[in-house]
Structure 1
Amino acid sequence: MITSLNPKITVLMPVYNCELYIKETIDSILDQTFTDFEFLIIDDASTDKTIDIIKAYNDSRIKLIVKPFNTGYTNSLNHGLKIAKGEYIARMDGDDISIVERFEKQVKLLDENIDVAVCGTLFNIIGTSNTVVVPQNHEDIKLGMLKKCCLGHPTVMIRKSYLEKFALNYDVTKEPAEDYDLWTRLLPMAKLHNLQEVLLSYRVHTSQVSQKRNIQQRDIALEIKVNLLNNLNFEKKNESQDLLRKIILNEEIFSFKEMEQFQYLKNNLLKANLKPFFDKEGFEKYLLDIQYHLFNGYFLRRDRYSPSIYFQYQKIKTEWKSQLLPIDEFKLAVKSLIFYSK
């Protein structure tokens, strides 16, 4: 197969020590029903047989770049974006498997929808019966991004012109959530879409970067979610930013003062979204869900109770127009009166 000078797609695949899976991965790309692509494989100084396996292929579409030193996954991605010749960039990882019609279906979607910058797909987990379902349309993806990344990175096909137009690439400091960060920076400028078909099989194993750096990934994802909310034009004091982080993390105990601050913050966020960045109904539900968890967490999942807690409940119940179930309200009253503690 001969690569055209101006291929429709650049398949961008960074690899590092993928000898166990790389052949099955490469075969899944070379077997695609859509064949007009260059296959850019960037090896990050592998120490196993990955390079030998790649070099055994005789297909002119494969362009292997071997880095002399290991400089990281995100560095490889950005280098690939810089030299890619394709109109579209199809992401791939060296241990996953693309379904044969993946490129054909993604190209069709992008060709027919010029306002869509990124097209992902559903994907399944190799060795399980699990399918990862992600929202389809742009508005649902945007809301979903407030909770987690809603695009499977190795499933995406990206319209390169949007990255060039807005001078976007992957942020090395956001690894291993560099993709989540890129999508949320692109959200205000272009549409994202997920085909509702399983077009990739994703491999989970303990040597993956995301498995090794879970805490770092969580902390970076927290900042990404805060930055996404900051697209709204509300007053961004340090106090409100700290409260946003604490609410999103949802792992800390809140003070009563912070409970009161949340209601003020919630109202500001709703006002800032009147000219909607997020779908109005969906965003209000997102904030009400947070309110529900704060409300129940503060009054039901405490280690200590006193009469002041019950009086706080009465105050918040009126201001938030929320209340516990009758049985839970009764238990709260009893625990507060007897100064209950675990």
Structure 2
Amino acid sequence: MPAISVVIPSYNRGYCIGDTLQSLLSQTYGDFEAIVVDDASEDDTRERVQAMADPRIRYVAHRYNRGGNAARNTGIRHARGDYVAFLDSDDQWAPDKLGKQLEGMLSLGPDYGASYTWMVCVDQHGRESERISHRFEGDWRERILVSNFIGSFSAFMVRTNLLNQIGGLDENLRSCQDWDLFIRLSRHTRLHCLAEHLVGYTRRVGGGNRISENSPAVVQGHRHILFKFSTDYNALPRPRRTEAMSVFFNVFSAAGAVGDAARVGLEVLRGDIRPTRLLLLARGMGRAMKRAAVRRRAMALQSSRSPIASRVA
């Protein structure tokens, strides 16, 4: 059996999945299998995967579209390796990613069952836009509640038995899917950090190919995290809780979710009433109201142009 099962969910990514798979096949560590889960694509994904002609790659297809987390869960069920590494179908790995990550985790002993590596964010043309370099290792239960410092499934590797122990991924989430998984896993294992930029994380500007670009989905996901793990947030030390609520406030205000921003803003004030904090919150609420007003105008314009509205007029 392979040591690592690489789970690759894909939906209509035929145009780029070949590059993703090539980065996998270029790994210096070769004891892996790849499970490509095609979430009912309508393009040439199947043909692109089969053209790789490598016996380590297995192709599994959903009969209908079920979402990224359902595809990942399908991959986990097919996994034969002791470890699962996730790779999104438009991201790429440096050649030594798998080997270094596994070696680093094993060197720390059995208490370390999960690992992440740093990432380079690129656009669809391969141009670098940002480097994500958060360094954290060990007991990560509090830190992962504050923010998703790992950043992406593609940077993450975990023991397969831990995924099965927590019941896999939550298939009801539209966003924050990785964050939800990381929070639940943090209760069961310590975390290794591979402090090298070994993942190329693709951000396709205006492409809409990632849920993270969808403001309503992002708001829904963050609401879910706050509700699902409310007991954990309430148990955080006040400085950590204030830090966490500040992260949620920034997300909600940027998305124009005025009510959500106001609620978590009050939580921030309970822990920090300095004038500088008050100023930041006031600016954030102003931004939220502007975003909400823009969205209302856009919806009104769209409604006025609808066929039903035209007939009524």
Q: TM-score, normalised by structure 1?
A: 0.67
Alignment root-mean-square deviation, CA: 3.3
SS at the partner of 1:173?
coil
Q: Does 1:37 align with 2:32?
A: yes
Instruction: Please give the alpha-carbon distance, in whole angstroms, between the structure 2 residues aligned to 1:21 and 1:87.
Output: 28
Pairing 1:179-190 to 2, within 5 Å after superposition: 179-190=178-189
Q: Does 1:107 align with 2:106?
A: no
Q: Which residue of 2 aligns with 1:17?
A: 12
Q: Does 1:217 align with 2:213?
A: no
Between stretches 94-103 and 170-179, larger displacement belongs to 170-179
Q: Does 1:124 align with 2:110?
A: no
- Structure 1 101/231 Cα, relative in aligned 2: closer, same or farther at 3 Å? same
SS at the partner of 2:175?
coil
SS at the partner of 1:217?
helix
Instruction: Please give the alpha-carbon distance, in whole angstroms, between the structure 2 residues aligned to 1:297 and 1:180.
Output: 26
C-alpha contact (below 8 Å) 1:31/1:100 kept by paired residues:
yes
Equivalent AA in structure 2 for residue 43 of structure 1: D
Equivalent AA in structure 2 for residue 33 of structure 1: T
- Structure 1 262/149 Cα, relative in aligned 2: closer, same or farther at 3 Å? closer
For residue 56 of structure 1, report the CA deviation from its aligned partner.
1.2
Residues 160-190 of structure 1, C-alpha deviations (whole Å, 9 max, x = no match) = 12223x3331101123221111111222222
For residue 58 of structure 1, report the CA deviation from its aligned partner.
1.8
Residues 34-55 of structure 1, C-alpha deviations (whole Å, 9 max, x = no match) = 1011111111122112211111
Pairing 1:192-231 to 2, within 5 Å after superposition: 192-205=191-204, 206-225=207-226, 227-228=228-229, 230-231=231-232
Q: Does 1:162 align with 2:162?
A: yes
Residues 268-304 of structure 1, C-alpha deviations (whole Å, 9 max, x = no match) = xxxxxxxxxxxxxxxxxxx44x86665445789999x
2:87 to 78, 82, 92: 92
**Unaligned regions of 5+ residues in structure 1, if any?**
1-5, 235-243, 267-286, 304-342
For residue 249 of structure 1, report the CA deviation from its aligned partner.
2.9
C-alpha contact (below 8 Å) 2:166/2:184 kept by paired residues:
no
Q: Which residue of 2 aligns with 1:56?
A: 51
Percent of paired sites with the same residue: 23
Residues 8-61 of structure 1, C-alpha deviations (whole Å, 9 max, x = no match) = 000100111112211111111011011011111111122112211111122110
- Structure 1 249/54 Cα, relative in aligned 2: closer, same or farther at 3 Å? same
- Structure 1 291/215 Cα, relative in aligned 2: closer, same or farther at 3 Å? farther
SS at the partner of 2:146?
coil
C-alpha contact (below 8 Å) 1:121/1:152 kept by paired residues:
no
Q: Which residue of 2 aligns with 1:135?
A: 135
Instruction: Please give the alpha-carbon distance, in whole angstroms, between the structure 1 residues aligned to 2:183 and 2:276.
Output: 25
Number of residue-to-residue matches in the alignment: 264
Report which of the two structures shows the higher radius of gyration computed on alpha carbons: 1
Instruction: Please give the alpha-carbon distance, in whole angstroms, between the structure 1 residues aligned to 2:14 and 2:85.
Output: 21
Instruction: Please give the alpha-carbon distance, in whole angstroms, between the structure 1 residues aligned to 2:280 and 2:128.
Output: 34
Instruction: Please give the alpha-carbon distance, in whole angstroms, between the structure 2 residues aligned to 1:233 and 1:90.
Output: 32
- Structure 1 60/54 Cα, relative in aligned 2: closer, same or farther at 3 Å? same
Q: TM-score, normalised by structure 2?
A: 0.73
Instruction: Please give the alpha-carbon distance, in whole angstroms, between the structure 2 residues aligned to 1:300 and 1:197.
Output: 36
SS at the partner of 2:13?
coil
